[in-house]
Structure 1
Amino acid sequence: MITRFSTLYVGHIELERCGLSGTPADDRRYSNERLTEAFDTTIALAHAADMLGYETLWLAEHHFQHEGYECIPNIPLLAVDLAHRTERVKIGCAFNVVPTWHPLRLAEDYATADILTRGRVVFGVGRGYHTREVESFGNPMLDGEANRELFEEQIEIILKAFRQESFSHQGKHYTIPPEVPYRGYPLKEITLVPRPVHQPVEIWQPIVSGSARGLDFMARHGIKGIVSATAEELVQRWFRDYQETARRNGRELALGEDLIFGFRMCIDETIDRAMQKARPYFEEHAKVMAPLGMLRYGEEHVKAVVARQAQSATAATLENGVRNRAWLCGPPGDIIAYLKEIEQRYPGLDHVMIGWAIGTPRDVMIEQLTRFAREVMPAFRR
């Protein structure tokens, strides 16, 4: 039963000449003053989400994007500021790019934010998908297997640090603590100071390719999943696979439980008007993400995600996104009707997340947040 609503903002600034015929992605370069606009937009969205009754504002961590697309490098730090500007809305990490961190620094930063915000930061982890980011921090991205191996070890360290009063770790990439003397005694274990006070820590991870290894890792560690802007047939498969993998690991879940269903949307009086409004931003998003192999509007896209191959921006059309229900465009009644279908299909699902394409202006995002809250969310109030 759907009762919880969140929204996602990835940190783009106001962009000029959006769309396939607009400025090429690699030709965009903005001043530092312009790039900091992302923080003003985040504050505005946090205020709107808080006022309108959204549970969580999810934010994305990214680095080095002078193009103005994803400009938030540290979510826990920003979350502390946002929590002190708002009353109720939570700030979600979608996602901390773990291979750009030392795992203990990320654990410390999250624990500090958990305490200072009184539990209003939601922890989320991802492996990353920008080579410029992860490789610039000295860790693997081009080698997908090495990236996954590092990520899994980092998560194991973070979980130990969160859950155990003191711990040690011996792995391929980390020896914690190091074998050194400390004040006259051999160092055997360390303690994360501080540890999160809101326990157990809820952890979310994106489901991007639906791989058996990735789902098994999530199930073994109790990690919840977000499936966002993904073709309907893939959502159905991955929801079932997540449930079955959890069952094999000793957790009985209703279909859709411990998952978030995310989609991009545009509300207007007709489908045509909604698509016309969304089209330039859809195209800008495709222009950015297709070369990174990060579109999921069909089976062929997911094959490219798995293989880390570039996709064609022109092959990803808004019509295809709407047809496959990765995008919902149209009047509020149509969106309500589809979410009611989703509610029936996945009886364990209680949480949906709305979002927009990179490049969508701030005033459009707030207008859409407001319309969804006032014209869609009331249909799900029990």
Structure 2
Amino acid sequence: MKFGYFCNTTNWTHKPYYELLDETKEITEYCDQNNWDSIWYTEHHFNHEGMESCTNPLMMGADAAARTKQIRIGQACNVITFHNPIQMAEDIALLDQLSKGRVEVGIGRGIYGREAVNLNIEADMKDQAKNFRLFEETLTILKKAWKEKFFDHKGEFYTYPSPNYVWQHAMSKSSPEFMDMETNVMKKISVLPQPYQRPYPPIHQVVDGIRSIEWAAQNGLNIIMWIPTVKALKIKFEAFKNAKSETEKRNVPLGEGISLVRDMFVADTMEEAKEKAGEHMINYMRWVCHWRGLGNHMDPGEELPVTPGKLDLLNYEFLHKRNMLFGTPEYVIDKIHELKSELNLQNLQVWSNFPGVKHSDCMKSIKLFTEKVMPHFKQDIETEIKKVS
């Protein structure tokens, strides 16, 4: 099993932003120095509330590349519908070059309306079909820009190069690779740099519904999921496996190509985990579930009691048994074993810096996870390899 840290930067206490960055740097350096496989930064905008405070995962990744040596650097995710695809292709490729091939590209469609309508109205999730077409076209352009020396594109939202643009320069050698030799009209463009990893870094789509899961599998993407219970995840994992197997004409093992994010807080006792981070985690879930409701936390076919408010049942006891890795190292090890045995989970991302949690408590949780939990699974993997060999 590979372990990644999901660095969903938060600032509920509204400390100076540089302090927030210093704490993030400490987490990043610790993970790099202690054999974590990857670290992932998020993208959110306009969040004055402090729940999600990282606006640019690629700039965070550039800082990480400069201060780390081995950890892989991911985004969870780049909301590609918000951005110009050429500039995004350049920025991701540049980060891959800076890190000498340590980038994991995370992509998503966006979930918050106030972000979409202020960054790219075409991405407004109120029109799901249009948002998806924009997402699909942007991804197509990214891949073209990374794979091809010169490329062109004509779609619903973007056309490259701009039509009828005449290019002439004494220091730019004319070539049929990118221009009409008779008219000097540009027919293709190039994006520099191209990625260090060829043809491009691994791509992971943040997904939730079955249609998105199957689409990702059919288009050669890995996926990242977050909240569901083990029983609900089993259905989603199998949907990805089946779609990927059919597309690739092979029997894809369950769990291949999937990363799961879990909320984690390891402490010396079960009571300490709840005391130091429980209410902070629930407070964050109140933020998230304002839009999502409790559906993602339920087992298939489960029915909840009817309550006046849609989040009345949201408390620590409700969530803890469903999808939280909160407790002693022994408890967390047991929960991860369940994920491994039921889902053949191969990639786990966790985070502890929930809004309002003290940084010192967060670091203690990360260190306990590193020292008490991760080695257990490394030993399991090594034992399995020896048995096979």
Band of TM-score, shorter chain? 0.7 to 0.9
Q: 1:192/1:87 Cα in 2 relative to 1: closer, same or farther (>3 Å)? A: same
What residue is the counterpart of 1:332 in the other structure? Answer: 329
Q: Distance in 1 between matches of 2:64 and 2:116?
A: 26
Q: Distance in 1 between matches of 2:265 and 2:54?
A: 24
Residue 201 of structure 2 corresponds to residue 201 of structure 1 = yes
The more displaced of 286-295 and 175-184 is: 286-295
Residue 142 of structure 2 corresponds to residue 144 of structure 1 = no
Q: 1:130/1:327 Cα in 2 relative to 1: closer, same or farther (>3 Å)? A: same
Give the match's secondary structure for 2:101. Answer: coil
Paired amino acid for 1:123: V
Q: Distance in 2 between matches of 1:345 and 1:232?
A: 7
Q: Distance in 1 between matches of 2:260 and 2:41?
A: 16
Match among 55, 59, 76 for residue 58 of structure 2: 76
The more displaced of 105-114 and 183-192 is: 183-192
**In the TM superposition, what whole-angstrom CA distance separates every residue of 1:269-295 from its partner, at most 9, and x where no partner exists?**
443432233222122202321223276
Q: TM-score, normalised by structure 2?
A: 0.84
Larger radius of gyration: 2
Residue 301 of structure 2 corresponds to residue 317 of structure 1 = no
What residue is the counterpart of 2:377 in the other structure? Answer: 380
Root-mean-square deviation over aligned CA pairs: 2.3
**In the TM superposition, what whole-angstrom CA distance separates every residue of 1:163-218 from its partner, at most 9, and x where no partner exists?**
2222222211111222123225122221211110212420011122x232x12331
What residue is the counterpart of 1:178 in the other structure? Answer: 162
Q: Distance in 1 between matches of 2:362 and 2:9?
A: 12
TM-superposed deviation, 1:299: 5.8
TM-superposed deviation, 1:237: 1.0
What residue is the counterpart of 2:241 in the other structure? Answer: 243
Residue 205 of structure 2 corresponds to residue 221 of structure 1 = no
Q: TM-score, normalised by structure 1?
A: 0.86
- Residues paired across the two proteins, number: 353
TM alignment of 1:1-382, pairs within 5 A: 2=1, 4-13=2-11, 15-16=12-13, 30=14, 34-139=16-121, 140-183=124-167, 184-199=183-198, 200-208=200-208, 210-212=209-211, 214-252=212-250, 253-293=252-292, 296-298=296-298, 312-324=310-322, 326-347=323-344, 349-356=345-352, 357-381=354-378, 382=382
Q: 1:280/1:67 Cα in 2 relative to 1: closer, same or farther (>3 Å)? A: same
TM-superposed deviation, 1:251: 4.9
TM-superposed deviation, 1:301: 12
Structure 1 unmatched ranges of 5 or more? 17-29, 304-310
Q: Distance in 1 between matches of 2:230 and 2:343?
A: 12
Q: Is the 8 A contact 1:35 1:66 kept in 2?
A: no
Q: Distance in 2 between matches of 1:277 and 1:239?
A: 32
Paired amino acid for 2:348: V
**In the TM superposition, what whole-angstrom CA distance separates every residue of 1:65-87 from its partner, at most 9, and x where no partner exists?**
12222222211122111211122
Paired amino acid for 2:67: R
Q: Distance in 1 between matches of 2:75 and 2:54?
A: 11
Q: Is the 8 A contact 2:276 2:361 kept in 1?
A: no
TM-superposed deviation, 1:320: 2.0
Structure 2 unmatched ranges of 5 or more? 168-182, 304-308, 383-389
The more displaced of 92-101 and 174-183 is: 174-183
- Per chain length, whose mean CA-contact separation is higher, i.e. which structure has more relative contact order (CA < 8 Å, sep 6+)? 1
